[in-house]
Structure 1
Amino acid sequence: MKVSELSRRTGVSIHRLRRWEAAGLVQAHRDGRGVRHFDDAAVRVVTFVAMARDLGFGLDRIGRIAPGYAAGRVSIDEYVGHLQTRLTEIDAQIAELQEQRRRVVDHVAWFDARRPHPLEESP
């Protein structure tokens, strides 16, 4: 199938498919005229890559996992291990953002304490 058909079947843009192909995540074969053709297995791989990107996995990590996935060699335990690692990363990002939020709140309070207060009128 051509890249346009792969895009239609997976919901992934042609631009993104070309980027993933350039990164080696999806394999295409070229005919005598140089037109890209993808086999039916590409639909499964593209769906996997799209799901992994949606979960926040980087292309480098996906590139290490995808060949085993495409060959059917990734076990459930391996999937779960990758997902647990991603959860740990997300938890670290959340903690970092919470700390950053605390610092911003402290700065707001510091500036509020130095804000000029209008003089109260006396009767």
Structure 2
Amino acid sequence: MRVSELSERTGVSVHRLRRWESGGLLRARRDHHGVRRFDESSVRVVTFVSMARDLGFGLDEIAALVPDYAAGRLGIDDLVARLQARLTEIDVQIVELERQRERVVDHVAWFEARRPRPDQETP
């Protein structure tokens, strides 16, 4: 199938599919006219990559997983372990963002306390 057909079937933009192909996440062969042709298994791989991106996995990590996924060697235990590790990363990010939020709130309060009031302004 052509890249436009793969895009239609998966809901992933042609631009993104081309980027994933150039990054080694997808494999296409070229026909005698030089047109990319993807096989049926590409739909499954694109779905996997798209879902992994949605969950916040980086392209390098996904690229390392794709060969095993495409070959059917990536088991449920592997996937669950990676998802649990991702949850831990997200929890760390949440804690960091909450701390950063507290610092921002403190800075807003500091600036607000120094804001001139209309009755205190000098001409």
Gaps of 5+ in 1: none
Alpha-carbon offset, residue 119 of structure 1: 4.0
> CA separation in 1, counterparts of 2:36 and 2:119?
75
Query: What residue identity is the alignment partner of 1:92?
Result: V
Alpha-carbon offset, residue 108 of structure 1: 1.1
Q: What corresponds to 1:38 in structure 2?
A: 38
What is the DSSP-based 3-state SS (H/G/I as helix, E as strand, rest coil) of the residue aligned with 2:56? coil
> CA separation in 2, counterparts of 1:58 and 1:118?
51
Alpha-carbon offset, residue 116 of structure 1: 2.5
Query: What residue identity is the alignment partner of 2:82?
Result: H
Query: What residue identity is the alignment partner of 2:71?
Result: A
Structure 1 stretches (4+) deviating beyond 3 angstroms?
117-120
Q: What corresponds to 1:12 in structure 2?
A: 12
* RMSD, aligned α-carbons: 1.2
Gaps of 5+ in 2: none
Query: What residue identity is the alignment partner of 1:104?
Result: V
> CA separation in 2, counterparts of 1:41 and 1:5?
13
CA distances 1:24-72 after superposition (whole Å, capped 9, x unpaired): 0010011111111000000000000000011111100000111100000
TM-score between both structures, scaled by the size of structure 2: 0.93
